[in-house]
């Protein structure tokens, strides 16, 4: 009887050791984003990495909730329209055109998960 109990314990121990350990990481992955601000974004043409430009429409704007540091800055930020664009980490060339005139053209570096604010003036 004692041999059977020992055999069962050893079998269970070996079975438990033989099964693989599963590691699953579940978490929130932050997107890499460009936050474009201007007093009048609607109608501006935006191009990332010299790809086909697109026109910003009113329904694509996001409510501007930036400016959490002090009241003056909050008021300043609330007068700007905000357009959020997901970009790939690494170097990205941003070109913004308004009424046929290029108003911003610069290469920007984004780390993975970084959010970067770019304010353009018309």
CATH number at residue 86: 2.60.40
Structural domain including 37 reads 30-119
pLDDT for residue 69: 46
pTM > 0.75 = no
In a domain, 62, yes or no: yes
Q: Is residue 14 part of a domain?
A: no
Token pair for 43: 């109608």
Residue range 63-112, pLDDT digits in tens? 776 554 455 555 666 788 899 999 999 999 999 999 989 999 999 999 99
**SS3 for 8-38, per residue?**
HHHHHHHHHHHCCCCCCCCCCCCCCEEEEEE
7 assigned to some structural domain: no
């Amino acid at each position: 009887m004692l041999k059977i109990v020992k055999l069962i314990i050893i079998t269970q121990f070996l079975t438990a050791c033989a099964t693989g350990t599963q590691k699953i990481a579940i978490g929130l992955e932050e997107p890499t984003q460009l936050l474009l601000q201007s007093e009048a974004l609607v109608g501006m043409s935006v191009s990332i990495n010299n790809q086909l430009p697109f026109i910003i429409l009113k329904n694509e704007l996001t409510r501007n909730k930036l400016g959490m540091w002090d009241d003056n800055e909050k008021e300043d930020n609330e007068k700007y329209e905000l357009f959020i664009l997901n970009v790939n980490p690494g170097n990205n060339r941003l070109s913004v055109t308004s009424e046929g005139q290029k108003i911003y053209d610069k290469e920007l570096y984004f780390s993975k998960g970084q959010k970067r604010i770019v304010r353009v003036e018309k």
